Amino acid sequence: MGILRAILKHPEDIYPLLKLKVAARYAEKQIPSQPHWAFCYIMLHKVSRSFSLVIKQLPVELRDAICIFYLVLRALDTVEDDTSVATEVKVPILMSFHRHVYDREWHFSCGTKDYKVLMDQFHHVSTAFLELGKHYKEAIEDITMRMGAGMAKFIYKEVETVDDYDEYCHHVAGLVGLGLSKLFHASGKEDVASDSLCNSMGLFLQKTNIIRDYLEDINEVPKCRMFWPRQIWSKYVDKLEDLKYEENSVEAIQCLNEMVTNSLSHVEDCLTFLSTLRDPAIFRFCAIPQVMAIGTLAKCYNNIEVFRGVVKMRRGLTAQVIDRTRNMADVYGAFFDFSCILKSKVEYKDPQVAKTLKRLEVILRTCKNSGTLNKRKSFVIKSGPNYNSTFVVVLVVLVAILLGYQSGNRT
């Protein structure tokens, strides 16, 4: 009933959701036959379903390199995230992880669920890594080494200032942007982008995740994870965990809004980076997560649910973003729409109102100046089409029958 209710409320989601489902089915059939590559692509799908869909459109050689790059860094992140691993054990692993990728026998048991499987059977990832081209391996090794060292540094150091926050996000995400640019260049399809633009691409995504995942991180057992900078949250509460308590709701919202405002400072660089890409598949691969990030920030801004549960874009809207993000006109349009949504939620009593509005105006002006806003469909549905509910129900039933038929044929 929940799915049907959502479709009745947003019938414009039906077609993109169907296309996404078909794409997911197709991706499942494209798993390589070699055991180590099969493991890598199956694991990629399990630890990041949306990423595994976007990556499928890339050329095979580049797709394989990025798949391994992602899994190596995901494994590194699993070591960092596991708060049950003692510091004296964790830090040497982080510092030497770039060498472990060359060892077909190495593995380290940590993490939970699919992440534990990834770590326990990491030899599959190493085997696949060793089959990559020389330039791909060098880029992955370099970024893994630098990221591991940065993570190790912040095992001992808390995120105190906004500069610390930017540095931490650089180590865990900005370097990913630099690494991807190197991989694109190694494939011969793109020029190497400037470090600052690559860094902003990573920081915008990472800061969005840190904001969205506040409750999950603060409730981590046996030890909470704290990535929000003290320089920001200490203006509002004595301890970071105090933001989740109902009696601090006003302060929590104000702190949240300042965190979102901080993230918006990276948008201009992200749009500049995306505008330089030439290859359509690489463009979509890079653009879709950025559009998802601005959509998530629009959802999180001024939203107390960030401190109560999970806040994310609805599945149908995610499907629309994946389906409709194909060129810079689509990107400018999406950033314009989601920035308008965010702006509509700004309250003039908020302490950061002037800074928030200033950053939003810069984004909106950049999108308007692109001259492309009239060339795409809006994500802001002001007066949706008048779908007959019976028609929608019949369509949903037909879709279910079609997918069931395809599933039966596959087995």
- DSSP string across 118-162: HHHTHHHHHHHHTTS-HHHHHHHHHHHHHHHHHHHHHHHS---SH
What residues contact 361, with CB distance under 8 A and at least 6 apart?
Answer: none
pLDDT at 384: 45
Verdict on whether the full-model pTM lies above 0.95: no
Quote the distance between the C-alpha of residue 300 and its chain's center: 15
Could you confirm whether 326 is annotated as catalytic? no
Pick the catalytic residue: 15, 104, 146, 225?
225
Q: Are 11 and 384 in contact (CB under 8 A)?
A: yes
Does residue 229 have a cis peptide bond before it, meaning omega lies within 30 degrees of 0? no
Reply yes or no on whether 168 is catalytic: yes
Tell me the Ramachandran region of residue 59: left when phi exceeds 0, alpha when psi lies from -120 to 50, beta otherwise.
beta
The question of whether 225 is a catalytic residue gets the answer yes
CA 8 to centroid of chain Cα atoms: 28
Residues of the chain with pLDDT under 70: 1-8, 380-411
Q: What is the Cβ-side half-sphere exposure of residue 244, based on CA atoms within 13 angstroms?
A: 15
CA distance 233 to 251: 9
Instruction: Tell me, yes or no, if 122 is annotated catalytic.
Output: no
Q: Note the pLDDT of residue 6.
A: 65
Task: Please report, to the nearest 10 degrees, the dihedral formed by the alpha carbons of residues 184, 188, 190, 193 taken in order.
Answer: 70
pLDDT at residue 397, rounded to an integer: 60
Q: What is the pLDDT of residues 333-392, one digit of tens each?
A: 999 999 999 999 999 999 999 999 999 999 999 999 999 998 777 776 544 444 555 555
CB 231 within 8 A of CB 198: no
Q: Tell me what pLDDT residue 17 has.
A: 81
The active-site residue out of 69, 285, 335, 336 is 285
